[in-house]
Amino acid sequence: MSDSVVIVPSDPSWAIAFEHARSDLLVALGGRVTEIEHIGSTAVPGLAAKPVIDLLCGVASLDEVAAFVPILAARGWEYPLDLNREIVSRHFFLRRNDQGVRTHHAHFVVRGGPLWAEYILFRDRLRASAELRKRYETLKRDLADKFHDQRERYTASKTDFVKEVLALGEDEQPVSRG
């Protein structure tokens, strides 16, 4: 899966695209998904991002997800086997538009588990801090320039920043870096 990394200005239509995808997944999967949250940079108003809607889909057990593969495939979702063999604690699906460009990612995790909490905490801390948003956007733009055609390296290179944000104490202000 190598797609170019392109960062674009924040777009209010991302929230609408999330709601459409959320509704579609809820209909397709019935009550087997306990909750769906908008995560990732498109969930943070004012933050430039890759124009890919990330959905955090909560399930009671990851064992349930295997049954979702044919249901979601019929709705245009891909389940990349190689990637899913490499990751733990979640299942990953993606959707592309007619030109083959990614438009959505769906991350299936145990609702209320540690990974669920981290995704939500990271999103919420970015929403709450203009300084963190600015630092993250600068990092993303720099990495997109450096790893334009290396999506995996782009993503991996953001890990230290994500860990830093997750490690902040509840009342702790982000450290300013000049």
Residues 6+ apart with CB under 8 A from 100: none
Per the CB < 8 A criterion, the answer to whether 126 and 47 are in contact is yes
What per-residue confidence (pLDDT) applies to 172?
Answer: 57
Beta pairing, strands 35-39 & 53-59: antiparallel
β-pair partners for 28: none
What per-residue confidence (pLDDT) applies to 173?
Answer: 53
| Count of Cβ atoms closer than 10 Å to residue 121 Cβ | 14
β-pair partners for 38: 55
What per-residue confidence (pLDDT) applies to 109?
Answer: 98
Q: What is the mean pLDDT of each run of 10 residues along the chain (178 residues)?
A: 82 97 95 94 97 97 96 96 93 93 96 96 97 97 92 91 89 48
What per-residue confidence (pLDDT) applies to 30?
Answer: 87
The angle that helices 159-167 and 130-146 make with each other, rounded to 10 degrees, is 170
What per-residue confidence (pLDDT) applies to 117?
Answer: 96
Two tokens, residue 169? 């104490």
What per-residue confidence (pLDDT) applies to 75?
Answer: 95
φ/ψ of 13, rounded to 5, equals -70, -15
